Amino acid sequence: MSDSTSDTHPPRRARLCGRTDLAPGEARRFDVAGLRVALVRIGDDFYAIGDRCSHEDYSLADGEVWPGECEIECSKHGSTFDLRTGEPCSLPATRPVPVYGLVLDEADVSLVVP
Ligand code: FES
C-alpha cells in the first residue's frame, strides 16, 4: 500500500552551522545525515557540494576557494569544481560531485537532505 501523504511532507533539513560561523571565502566539512558535505561561503552566499573529490577520495573542503570563479580547488591534484553545478572545471577530475540544496534563515544554514 502506498503512502499518499509522502509527497506532501516538507523536505527534511539538517542544520550545518550559523550563518556567521564561516568567514567569506572559507570552506568547512560537515558529516550530516550520512553525507559528507563541503560547505563554502562566498560573500553572503553559501554552497554545498559533496566533500569527496571525484578523482580520488579526497576532501574538497581542504582546498582553496576561488570566490571570483565560484569554484573550489582540490588540494591533492588541483582540479577545480564549480560550486553551483558540481562540474569539474579542470583535469584530472572528469566527473561532477553532488550539489546539495541549502536553506538559509536569519541565523542558520541548513542542508536539504536529499
Ligand atoms: S584527488 Fe582531487 S584532483 Fe586528484
For residue 3, pLDDT over 60 is answered with: no
Contacts for 10 with CB less than 8 Å, ≥ 6 apart: none
- Substitution candidate for ligand 1 out of 52, 54, 55 with most atoms within 8 A of CB: 55
User: Does any domain span residue 7?
Assistant: no
Which grid cell sits at 52? 569527496
Residue 54 CA: nearest ligand 1 atom is 2
User: Does any domain span residue 8?
Assistant: no
Coil, helix or strand at residue 22 = coil
The residue type at 77: H
Question: What pLDDT does 7 receive?
Answer: 58
Number of separate domains in the chain: 1
Give the position of cell 542542508.
111
- Substitution candidate for ligand 1 out of 49, 51, 53 with most atoms within 8 A of CB: 53
User: Does any domain span residue 25?
Assistant: yes
**21 ligand 1 Cβ < 6 A:** no
* Domain CATH number, residue 22: 2.102.10.10
Q: What is the mean pLDDT of residues 20-47?
A: 97
**15 ligand 1 Cβ < 6 A:** no
Range of the domain at 45: 14-112
Q: What is the mean pLDDT of residues 32-46?
A: 97
Return the ∠ at Cα 111 (arms to 109 and 113), rounded to 5°: 160
| Sheet with 45-50: strands ordered across | 27-32, 35-42, 45-50, 99-100
User: Does any domain span residue 9?
Assistant: no
Q: How far apart are the first and last CA of the chain?
A: 23
CA proximity to 104, closest of 93, 112, 113 = 112
What are the tens digits of pLDDT across the range 45-87?
999 999 999 999 999 999 999 999 999 999 999 999 999 999 9
User: Does any domain span residue 50?
Assistant: yes
Residue 93 CA: nearest ligand 1 atom is 3
Question: What pLDDT does 8 receive?
Answer: 66
Question: What pLDDT does 9 receive?
Answer: 74
For residue 1, pLDDT over 60 is answered with: no
